[in-house]
Amino acid sequence: MGLDTSHDCWHGAYSAFLRWRHTLAEAAGYKIREPTPEERDQGIYSPSVDIHWEVFEDKNYQGEWDSPPGDDPLLFLIVHSDCDGVIHPAQGVHIARRLEQLLPLLDDTEAIGHIRPHMRGKTQQFIDGLQAAAAAGEDVEFG
């Protein structure tokens, strides 16, 4: 079982998708943090990107936004659910451009698990899928 998206953006383990997004976030200058004791009490055990999660609404995790999430389009991807929802073409164009900026900063030798040694390749695959979906005027669907 794992994440499969439309437009061949991603096919693989949820854990690999999480690690990939964390690697992108770190390349973009975000910090990854361990869960707090309170979060552990709520059943949250995975590290997360250190952003203000409380400002996001449930619909944002599904790809629905009333306005962009700040000045970094990578947040569309960081905040997105790892198992359902969509990325709309207008978001996908901006995410793809941001991923293109991050691509040279990624180090395949640091990749672990299912994405080793293909961090750049998986990122390029995601970029290509986002661009294909945007060109067709279609959503990238997570499922």
Nearest to 76 by CA among 39, 28, 11: 28
Read off the pLDDT of each residue in 21-49 and give the average, rounded to a whole number: 94
Question: Domain limits at 56?
Answer: 3-142
> How many domains is the chain built from?
1
Q: What is the pLDDT of residues 32-42, one digit of tens each?
A: 999 999 999 99
pLDDT, mean of residues 25-46: 94
Residue 80: per-residue pLDDT: 97
Q: What is the pLDDT of residue 108?
A: 72
**63-119 pLDDT, tens digit each:** 999 999 999 999 999 999 999 999 999 999 999 999 999 999 998 765 555 565 688
The DSSP element (H or E) to which 23 belongs, if any, is helix 14-27
Q: What average pLDDT score do residues 57-66 get?
A: 97
CA distance readout (Å), 79 to 37, 71, 116: 22, 14, 23
